[in-house]
Structure 1
């Protein structure tokens, strides 16, 4: 597992993904829940069915990242943005049959610049503070990048998965 503060190649400079889902959500628990459900639905449609490792993992990553955007990145009157991509060289939905791993990337952007995510050790009786530990454990890579056009940040995570058939 790798954590970085900046990706090797920023999302806006990366190859065009084979599949992309991009949407803004209200910065509320309801918005985070809807985002998580739509991520799972899109992955199902793209060849990673419900209740498979890839779908479950990315859905959990979406739940953690969107919950953090609502809880720690919320600015009144501002939404958060979610982007889900599947690598253009991947099998998912392309029918190439090459068996190469699919890179699935999730990005959640909020408008808070001063609150960067950090892995900290919660006390044993703490009721929160473990979400990024889940992200770090499940993701192949994860990190943050500053927003380019406005204040804020993007927290992203990637996994490598094979299409489940």
Structure 2
């Protein structure tokens, strides 16, 4: 059952690395498991398709419809996510299927020099007020 306590918006600029995944989960501790899972899957997609060291910005905000919106922005507008049917024996390829199963909706917003993959989850209230941009150690990068 999701935690329905109000949570401030979250924004974090970092470099996508395998070590960043558990640290990001720790920082998202105030959010429910589904939010943490979606952020982890979207960050893992960046690692798998763009490589370690890719600068990303992770955001968790509320929507006017009472949903929780998860966004991961990266600098490659061309590498778009594709929902695949993974084989039973496949060791990867299920991330977007998980997001598709959990989210009310998901998609991609493209800019000229970046894309944002997002999903909206039911449940947890996120107060829409200006948040602060956090960073991870020396690997912080500016947001777009």
Mapping of residues 11-160 of structure 1, within 5 Å: 19-41=8-30, 43=31, 55-74=32-51, 78-87=54-63, 102-147=66-111, 151-160=113-122
- Greater CA deviation, 107-116 or 29-38? 29-38
Deviations 1:109-141, CA, capped at 9 Å, x for gaps: 111222110111222221110110000000111
| Matched residue count | 119
Distance change >3 Å, CA 62–CA 162, structure 1 → 2? closer
Deviations 1:54-111, CA, capped at 9 Å, x for gaps: x01111111111111222133x754111011123x6xxxxxxxxxxx73111100111
Q: After TM superposition, where is structure 1 displaced by more than 2 Å over at least 4 residues in a row?
A: none
Aligned mates of 1:127, 1:152 — CA distance in 2 = 28
- The normalised TM-score by structure 2 is 0.72
CA contact (8 A) 2:17 2:47 kept: yes
Structure with higher RCO (Cα < 8 A, 6+ apart)? 2
Deviations 1:26-51, CA, capped at 9 Å, x for gaps: 1101123222221233x3xxxxxxxx
Note the residue ranges of structure 1 that are not aligned, 5 or more in a row. 1-17, 44-54, 90-100
Aligned mates of 1:60, 1:161 — CA distance in 2 = 14
DSSP-derived class of the 2:22 partner = helix
Aligned mates of 1:162, 1:108 — CA distance in 2 = 18
Larger radius of gyration: 1
Distance change >3 Å, CA 40–CA 73, structure 1 → 2? farther
- The normalised TM-score by structure 1 is 0.64
DSSP-derived class of the 2:21 partner = helix
